[in-house]
Amino acid sequence: MTFSIFEGQEPSQVIFQFKASPPAVTFKLTGETDGIFQIQPDGLLYHNKALDRETRAVHKLQVSTLDAYGATVEGPVPITIEVKDINDNRPTFLQPNYEGSVRQNSRPGKPFMYVNATDLDDPTTPNGQLIYEIIIQLPKINDVMYFQINNKTGAISLTLEGSRELDPIKNPSYRLVVSVKDMGGQNDHSFSDSTSVNIMVKENIWKAPEPVEIVENSTDPHPIKITQVQWNEPGAQYSLVEKEKPSTLPFSIDQEGGIYVTQPLDREEKDSYVFYAVAKDEIGKPLALPLQIRVKVKDINDNPPTCPSAVTVFEVQENEDIGSNIGTFIGHDMDEENTANSVLVYKIVDQIPKLPKEGLFLVQTYSGVVQLAGQSLKKQDTPQYNLTIEVSDKDQFIDINDQIPIFEQSDYGNLTLAEDTAVGSTILTIRATDTDEPFTGSSKILYRIIQGDSEGRLGIDTDPHTNAGYVIIKKPLDFETVAVHNIVFQAENPEPLVSGVNYNTSSSAKFKLIVTDVNEAPQFSQRIYQAKVREDVAVGTKVGNVTAKDPENLDISYSLRDNTRGWLKIDPVTGEIFTTAPLDREAESLYRVQVMATEVGGSSQSSIASFHLTLLDVNDNPPRLAKEYTGLFLCHPLHQEGTLIFEVTDDDQRSFPSPHFSYSLVSESSRNDWEVSRVNGTHAKLSTKHTNFEEGLYSVQSASVMVAGHRWKGIVSLPVTFCTCVEGHCFQPAGHQPGMPTVGMAVGILLTTFLVIGIILAVVFIRIKRMKAKILFESAQASEAQPLRN
């Protein structure tokens, strides 16, 4: 049987009257009574204190009947007391003050912080349904709210106006006052709490970087980082796109926003690039407008001059004056215009024939204009001259890589480090020198580890100005894997060596790294383990398994913590988890425990993981009345059939098909007077069969059977009162009150009182009469003893 009682009700409230059948003479109550629930020998179940749902929401009791010798006759019968919630707890914020920050131009509606409140009342009822609201924003410019809050989750985000207008220069901080109300905020009697939220406005860092210049045909190892973009918050996913065509860019971007050129560029092929950096959230939605990235390819003198044709023809008249322009010789250079790389120099290197003399012509050095220089020409002397003109650009001297890097020392000795040394730590500085031209690919030095670090735990960063190499820890050291690293460094140039020059032992150095052991706690294979199981599994069923490994290979012992209901146990050796008691989804649908793995021996270090067991519902709860029916009545006398509607439910999860109940009356006498019929899946109709009822209270017991899934039978009792009605309401004159005597009893008490008073008066009268006689007798004796006087 299941009963629902509101918390906070006055004590000594009767819950139910049980009846016993011989040979039972008394009742016994066991289970989670908490000293609150009691049963009298005649079967009256009641509670002697007000209930508190927050202390215990469900009490599981058992009622048994006993004979005169204390032996169990019937039962125990399970009794469930559901403590129904009332709004007797106010919501409370977890912090009196909250601190947060937001970037200007952040996406409106995307939460950047949360406030949280708790309410001890039942969260499935309005009593525990919390609603958040921003009630004050300071400053509030032009009466516009820059911030908004999700009234259910407490997530604070920017409004559209806030995304546009926030400026850390104008207002670097804002203060909000946030309130929370229970009862869904819809009741004038709801409780509330408030908290202060201080928000710092940070500068928007999602900005287009400055245009980038990249020298063409770079010989440095690629990819090369050229610039950086960054979204205002971590976790953004970056990509590069071109404006109107699929991306075939020689650029890439990593997930930290670093942009790289992936190959050498040729300015003569393409002198500039314009593309866009995009930041998206975890579901692929753009976080903001893309940023434009501009790259200019910087020219080097890598193209020789060219002539438009092998032969250029000029005509000249006889007797032309000296200095006359004969024509202009034009050369071309693919290098960038208007730079030193494309400036052309013209020079006559040959004249055929050399008659009447050499030097009859000259060419302007930079313009290519050919002029008559020596004397006037005559056709009969020479009708045609062939000139050879050399076109060149500026002189360029390029160093060749004919020198190898040489280490300053060949052995960097030994270094001992604990295995828990922080990743990113610099543990050694190495240095090599190269005598090629400074700051070229021929003299730049790149270091790499060629021996002793197969797992890549170390890395080397080169200082571009000094060529010093800084050895850093890239991955955690591990004594158990490798205790001693015999490292060999190699120094190389990004520019290939010229033919005949090779790296030798001078370009390498050695180093020994010794790793010491640190006692580490066991490590679980995952932080949270999850499992699902039906709530009706047998006790002893295996429901999960956890595994942990100790870095020092010590044995591990497993144990459980926060196993509040005692439902689970764990094998201390294998980590297998079993049930130790019946599970109940209606009491707790997600059962959380912590698993501790502890070293056996050593310093007994331990670590903790979580185990979450989801209980899958089964149809294991009998039908019960959906609410308390305490005021059911029919007007007496009946003039026609009386009808009452009642609702039945059960406590199983609603993922089952909609409940389908059938109904019947329990006792034969009830079936003579009443009939019950189904209205729909959850409601039934109780009707009278006749109109010959006397005034008074009738208890009609109906059997409700759940026929969806398993069949469960529940007995529900409906108290129906037949009474005189006044204006549609039941009118019951005050009757005999408990403790008030009847008329006969009052007369008897009165006569008894008079009799007692009469007896007392008679006794007093007799005692007075005896005292008076005694006094007279003593007076007579005294007079006889005295002599006569004259």
pLDDT at 660: 64
Structure tokens at 127: 């009593």
pLDDT at 710: 47
Per mean pLDDT, which range of 271-275, 357-361, 466-470 is the poorest? 357-361
pLDDT at 764: 80
d(CA 293, CA 447): 32
**pLDDT score of 783 more than 60:** no
Per mean pLDDT, which range of 463-467, 471-475, 495-499, 701-705 is the poorest? 701-705
What does residue 533 show for φ and ψ, rounded to 5 degrees?
-155, 150
287 within 8 A of 256, measured Cβ to Cβ: no
Structure tokens at 755: 């009799």
pLDDT at 722: 85
**pLDDT score of 223 more than 70:** yes
Half-sphere exposure of 6 (CA within 13 A, CB side): 10
12 within 8 A of 37, measured Cβ to Cβ: no
d(CA 39, CA 63): 9
Q: Which run of H or E residues covers position 469?
A: strand 468-473
Structure tokens at 310: 């092998």
Within 10 angstroms of residue 705's Cβ, the number of other Cβ atoms is 16
Where residue 739 falls (left for φ over 0; alpha for ψ -120 to 50; beta otherwise) is left
- The predicted-structure confidence for 133-170, as pLDDT tens digits, reads as follows 999 999 999 999 999 999 999 999 999 999 999 999 99
Q: Which run of H or E residues covers position 391?
A: strand 386-392
d(CA 456, CA 474): 7
Structure tokens at 618: 């089964």
pLDDT at 781: 44
The mean predicted confidence, pLDDT, of the chain is 85
How far are the Cα atoms of 357, 565, 687 from residue 588, in angstroms, in the given order? Answer: 115, 9, 39
- The predicted-structure confidence for 195-215, as pLDDT tens digits, reads as follows 999 999 999 888 999 999 999
Please state whether beta strands 712-726 and 237-241 pair in parallel, antiparallel, or not at all (unpaired).
unpaired
CA angle, corner 184, sides to 127 and 135, nearest 5? 125
Per mean pLDDT, which range of 334-348, 571-585, 594-608, 646-660 is the poorest? 646-660
What does residue 607 show for φ and ψ, rounded to 5 degrees?
-140, 165
470 within 8 A of 431, measured Cβ to Cβ: no
The pLDDT-based confidence of 694 (bands split at 50, 70, 90) is confident
The pLDDT-based confidence of 386 (bands split at 50, 70, 90) is very high
% the chain with pLDDT above 70? 90
What average pLDDT does this structure show over 98-108?
90
Instruction: Give me the sign of the Cα torsion angle 750, 752, 754, 757.
Output: negative
The pLDDT-based confidence of 741 (bands split at 50, 70, 90) is low
Per mean pLDDT, which range of 146-150, 530-534, 694-698 is the poorest? 694-698
What average pLDDT does this structure show over 55-83?
92
The pLDDT-based confidence of 614 (bands split at 50, 70, 90) is very high
pLDDT at 491: 94
Within 10 angstroms of residue 582's Cβ, the number of other Cβ atoms is 12
The pLDDT-based confidence of 653 (bands split at 50, 70, 90) is low
686 within 8 A of 676, measured Cβ to Cβ: yes
How far are the Cα atoms of 291, 634, 636, 638, 697 from residue 722, in angstroms, in the given order? Answer: 81, 5, 5, 9, 6
pLDDT at 740: 52
d(CA 289, CA 146): 21
DSSP readout, 147-203?
EEE-TTT-EEEE-HHHHHH--TTT-SEEEEEEEEESGGG--TT--EEEEEEEEEEE-
Three-class HEC string of 234-301: CCCEEEEECCCCCCCCCEEECCCCEEEECCCCCCCCCCEEEEEEEEECCCCCECCCCEEEEEEEECCC
**pLDDT score of 744 more than 80:** no
pLDDT at 784: 41
Q: Which residue has the tokens 């960038």?
A: 336
Has this prediction a pTM greater than 0.85?
Answer: no
What average pLDDT does this structure show over 283-288?
86
CA angle, corner 409, sides to 403 and 414, nearest 5? 140
pLDDT at 176: 96
Q: Please list the residues that pair with 489 across neighbouring strands.
A: 449, 509
Length of the chain: 790
SS3 state of residue 403: coil
**pLDDT score of 222 more than 80:** yes
Structure tokens at 113: 């912080």
SS3 state of residue 333: coil
pLDDT at 486: 95
Q: Which residue has the tokens 């519902």?
A: 617
**pLDDT score of 451 more than 90:** yes
**pLDDT score of 331 more than 90:** no
What does residue 468 show for φ and ψ, rounded to 5 degrees?
-75, 145
pLDDT at 782: 44
What average pLDDT does this structure show over 626-637?
80
DSSP 332: B
d(CA 702, CA 677): 10
d(CA 630, CA 16): 12
Per mean pLDDT, which range of 16-25, 213-222, 542-551 is the poorest? 213-222
What average pLDDT does this structure show over 567-586?
93
What does residue 434 show for φ and ψ, rounded to 5 degrees?
-140, 130
Give the chain's domains with CATH numbers. 2-84 (2.60.40.60), 92-202 (2.60.40.60), 212-298 (2.60.40.60), 324-393 (2.60.40.60), 406-516 (2.60.40.60), 523-616 (2.60.40.60), 624-730 (2.60.40.60)
The pLDDT-based confidence of 709 (bands split at 50, 70, 90) is very low
Nearest Cα neighbor of 36 from 19, 12, 53, 57 is 12
How far are the Cα atoms of 179, 181, 182, 369 from residue 135, in angstroms, in the given order? Answer: 7, 12, 16, 83
